[in-house]
A and B are shown apart, each in its own frame.
Chain A
């Protein structure tokens, strides 16, 4: 069965460049999360969607970060004017139902390197 799919797997950007990271959640999963994982650290919450509604974006570090899920399935995390401190692995996760199944299923992530 298909899991959470993220692309690209690796992204190298020059400082100041805009990037877009894609997440395909497990089919039928209502909830979608983005996390940022710095080297040697645990994942840090960025934002959460329930279907197409972005219900929590409290973890987005600045207004350069923007996420969307317009049709309640695929999501895109966009980072504008990238900075070196944005270098990290960006993980996407989905869950079936916010009430009955709280396990998050993670993708393999996009490793972003800003030079």
Chain B
């Protein structure tokens, strides 16, 4: 079975609010994590990544938090905009030197006006 999964398959938020998308993983040896955004009819688009030696990384309006103790990853989107509506995937590399990414099932984020 898939070890990278998401707690909620759908998330609906009001425009302007902050969004938090969660992801659980089971492999403690995973050393690299990445979030992708996928809009309808398009390929996944890179948002932000984090290595296992970090707890937090910030980008433009996005923050990724990594809690290795409970094997949990989250993506925070500040001041959500209509253009943020998409499916969000977390993915991991399961060991140092691994090339392939293992994706979770995804969370659909819907922005309400």
Residues on A close to B: CB < 8 A? 4, 31, 33, 35, 40-45, 48, 50, 55-56, 59, 91, 93, 98, 102-109
Contacts and interface: CB of A to CB of B under 8 A. Distances in A.
Given A42-B103, A98-B99, A108 B49 contact: no
Contact of B100 (A33, A42, A107): A33
B99 A91 contact: no
A42 B43 contact: no
B49 A4 contact: no
Nearest to B51: A102
A43 B44 contact: yes
Given A42-B103, A45-B100, A91 B34 contact: no
11 contacts: A40-B106, A43-B103, A50-B99, A91-B43, A102-B49, A102-B93, A103-B46, A103-B49, A104-B101, A108-B42, A109-B43
Contact of A4 (B41, B43, B104): B43
Nearest to B44: A106
Interface of B: 2, 4, 32, 34, 36, 41-46, 49, 89, 91, 93, 99-106
A42 B49 contact: no
A103 B42 contact: no
Nearest to A108: B43
Contact of A106 (B2, B45, B93, B100): B45
A23 to B, nearest CB: 11
A46 to B, nearest CB: 9
A56 B102 CA distance: 14
A51 to B, nearest CB: 13
A93 B44 CA distance: 9
A105 B49 CA distance: 13
Given A106-B43, A108-B43, A44 B103 contact: yes
Contact of B106 (A4, A42, A48, A104): A42
B102 A45 contact: yes
